[in-house]
Amino acid sequence: MALLQMFHRFSCGLSRGIVPKTIACVLALVPVLAPVQATADDITVFAAASMKNAMDVVAEEWAKETGHRALVSLAGSSALARQIQQGAPADVFISANTNWMDRLDTDGLIAADTRFDLLGNAIVLIAHGADAPAVEITPNLDLAGLLGGGHLAMALVDAVPAGIYGKAALTHLGLWEGVADQVAQGDNVRAALAFVSTGEAPFGIVYATDAVADQRVSVIGTFPADSHPPIIYPAAAIADSTNPLTASFLTFLRSAPARSAFEQQGFVVLGK
């Protein structure tokens, strides 16, 4: 049932023109939200989907060092924040932007004095295939012409951080209006990546770290840093968590093994 619900949300977020029967294939590449049932020796971490590869390594290193499991639930930051608002049993939240963390903080759902800025990132324009030619991302870029009637894959542009940053950048550059009708929106940034990776969309906007994770796409340009708000991933403990491992896991996120995992995936570690 959960997979069917995810399918519905994902397909409803798409612009017209994507062939419905192909979506199931793409979903197989997208992280599934539901974690393994936690026990007293586990910690449950809600983390932005763009962190998947790095968090796989972090969880492994955490287990080696402590003997405890980190159960990582991955999805768009908006979906994770809403689940926390609805009482989902998370211990730690790592958001791909500050706004969703701010909302939880305003609601009193973040433990006081546990929040810190963990990572930085960039957004890039990607193309299907390993050797796509580079472009210069400026107001003069003919993005509509580049698409040639195809779709531009993005995360949800009004809810998911990667989509919000992408729309902000395109708007700042004066390119949004020319391509808005060709944008195919997915529930999270890994869904957008999957569309380009499988060739369903010729181009997409994702984080630089997502592009590193898939060799079937090429980074053809990086959006200027001043074209969108700073991309910051804050981390914090959930106020209702009584897990004794929470504080030590937050500390571990800034340890050498975790820092190495993040940097290998292209993240910028903040506050070293």
Residue 2 reports pLDDT greater than 50: no
Domain count, the chain: 2
Question: What type of residue sits at position 151?
Answer: H
pLDDT of residue 37: 52
The residue segments making up the domain with residue 91 are 31-120+232-269
Compare 39 and 82 and report the one with higher pLDDT. Answer: 82
Compare 70 and 23 and report the one with higher pLDDT. Answer: 70
Over the stretch 115-153, which tens digit does the pLDDT of each residue have? 999 999 999 999 999 889 999 999 999 999 999 999 999
Same-domain check for residues 200 and 263: no
Same-domain check for residues 46 and 116: yes
Over the stretch 14-39, which tens digit does the pLDDT of each residue have? 433 333 323 323 333 334 344 445 55
Same-domain check for residues 216 and 240: no
Same-domain check for residues 85 and 98: yes
User: Does residue 243 fall inside a structural domain?
Assistant: yes
DSSP 267: P
**E strand segments, the chain:** 42-48, 69-75, 92-94, 116-120, 123-128, 152-155, 183-186, 203-207, 217-222, 232-237, 268-269
Compare 29 and 170 and report the one with higher pLDDT. Answer: 170
| Cβ-Cβ contacts under 8 Å for 165 (sequence gap 6 or more) | 97, 123, 228, 229, 231
Compare 26 and 179 and report the one with higher pLDDT. Answer: 179
Same-domain check for residues 58 and 106: yes
Residue 164 reports pLDDT greater than 90: yes
Question: What type of residue sits at position 184?
Answer: A
Same-domain check for residues 160 and 256: no
Over the stretch 194-225, which tens digit does the pLDDT of each residue have? 999 999 999 999 999 999 888 999 999 999 99
User: Does residue 15 fall inside a structural domain?
Assistant: no
User: Does residue 24 fall inside a structural domain?
Assistant: no
pLDDT of residue 40: 61
User: Does residue 46 fall inside a structural domain?
Assistant: yes
